[in-house]
Amino acid sequence: MGKLLINKELITNVANLENRKFIKQTNKIVNNLVGLTIKHMQDKLSFISLENVILQPANELLTGAIVDSSDFTYILGVNSPQLEMNTLKGKSFWENFKEKLKYAWQNRKSIFNRRNRKKRRKKKKNNDLEIDKSNKKPVALEKYKIYNLLDDLQNSIVLFLSETSLTYLYDNRIEIIGKDDFGANTRIKIYPMIFDGKNYKYYIDKKQGFLKIDIENRIDKIQEKINNVGNNFIKILKILNYLFYNTNNYNCNQIFLESVICSVPDKMFQGDDIYNIFIKIINYLSIKTLNVNSINNPKLTIYKDIACQNSVIGFRKMINSIVNETKSI
């Protein structure tokens, strides 16, 4: 990536980027898509319906600080204690591994015979299946978990997309890319989570547990800052989102960024010249220790709150790049 030339014209243009119409249009398309998907799924799943799910905008969508590199990220909250309980009771990797190892040892003779008696494969296969069934203990059907929901969501979503759209399934989210459905260079991300009426709960497989995402506290902190400093808060978020991506080639975690910008003194946002405001804030952040509290969980700093991820290195890299560039102007 080439060196980004920072000047007053660039910063002003990014700050005043008007994309509300595009955001509104994309939100409408995604809401319609999710609505059709849930209607299709509720015939199969008793705990899924339009009454107990909520589509919550996340990341830049929450503030409207969308720039060209931004993804349209949503949380699909499902209010289902049963789904939460099933997911928590999921067996760990080692539990599954030990069960498979035990089964293989108990049935080692039949497995060996199946591999070596190729001439009687068909007959032996039927016999082995009977042996296997007699050796197995009755087990309950596998519980429906958050990852089963991801699979069903993907299978249903593709029914309502054009053939040119691509849908990817990751461990914890669904990503959709489709210029015919959403527009060129638009990426949709949907994170299914448990919703308990207040918090969204994001399942982390390695931890075998849920991480609470407190959207209400985040919204309250952002709104409080906007009430104090006005729309310059959103403009600074836009500028830093743009510069972060162009410095690091990936997007900044928004809870981290919002937590940092909320910690900046209100007086630094005062004025009509957004470039001068931007320079003042950058100079302040270049010498400030970023040990601030997370707006997702005020009891934790941005270093300890998992919801903030690890954007510190990329953020410092961006700040240093801006300071060096603006000194040369």
Which tens digit of pLDDT belongs to each residue from 190-199?
999 999 988 9
Please tell me the number of Cα atoms within 13 Å of 200 on its side-chain side: 23
Residue 112: domain span: 91-135
**How far is C-alpha 126 from the chain's CA centre?**
46
- Tell me if 238 is assigned to some domain: yes
Q: Are strands 72-78 and 187-195 parallel, antiparallel or unpaired?
A: parallel
Does 171 map to a domain?
yes
Based on the fold, state whether residues 271 and 200 are members of the same structural domain: yes
Half-sphere exposure of 144 (CA within 13 A, CB side): 13
The reply to whether 78 falls in a domain is yes
Residue 318 shares a structural domain with residue 189 = yes
- Tokens 């407190």 identify what position? 214
DSSP 132-157: HHHHSPP-PPPPP-HHHHHHHHHHHH
pTM of the model: 0.80
Structural domains of the chain, count: 2
Predicted pLDDT of residue 103: 46
Tell me if 141 is assigned to some domain.
no
In the chain (329 residues long), the average pLDDT of successive 10-residue segments reads: 76 92 94 96 88 94 93 95 82 51 54 48 50 42 81 95 92 91 92 93 80 93 96 97 95 96 96 96 92 93 89 92 77
Pairing of strands 187-195, 200-204: antiparallel
For residue 109, the model assigns a pLDDT of 54
CATH of the domain at 12: 3.30.460.10
* 62 and 97 part of one domain: no
The answer to whether position 2 is within a domain reads: no
| Through-space distance between the first and last CA atoms of the chain, rounded to whole angstroms | 21
Number of Cβ within 10 Å of residue 117's Cβ equals 13
Indicate whether 101 and 74 sit together in one domain: no
H or E stretch at 198: none
**φ/ψ of residue 194, rounded to 5:** -80, 140
For 143, residues 6+ apart whose C-beta sits below 8 A from its C-beta are 86, 89, 90
pLDDT, tens only, 7-53:
899 999 999 988 889 999 999 999 999 999 999 999 888 888 999 99
Question: 114 and 78 share a domain?
Answer: no
* Cβ pair 201, 210 in contact under 8 A: yes
CB atoms within 10 A of CB 91: 13
User: How many Cα atoms occupy the beta-carbon half-sphere of 88 within 13 Å?
Assistant: 12
Does one domain contain both 237 and 261?
A: yes
Given phi > 0 = left and psi -120 to 50 = alpha, else beta, which region is 185? left
Q: Rounded CA gap, 182 and 197, in Å?
A: 30
Q: Is the domain of 31 the same as that of 108?
A: no
Q: Are residues 313 and 193 in the same domain?
A: yes
Same domain, 131 and 251: no
What is the residue type of 148?
A: N
In terms of domains, do 270 and 255 share one? yes
Residue 252 maps to a domain: yes
Which domain-ending residue is among 72, 104, 135?
135
Residue 38 placed within a domain = yes
Same domain, yes or no: 120 and 231: no
Query: Do 30 and 72 contact (CB within 8 A), yes or no?
Result: yes
Is the residue at 142 inside a domain? no
C-beta of residue 165 within 8 angstroms of C-beta of residue 181: yes
Residue 107 sits in the same domain as residue 211: no
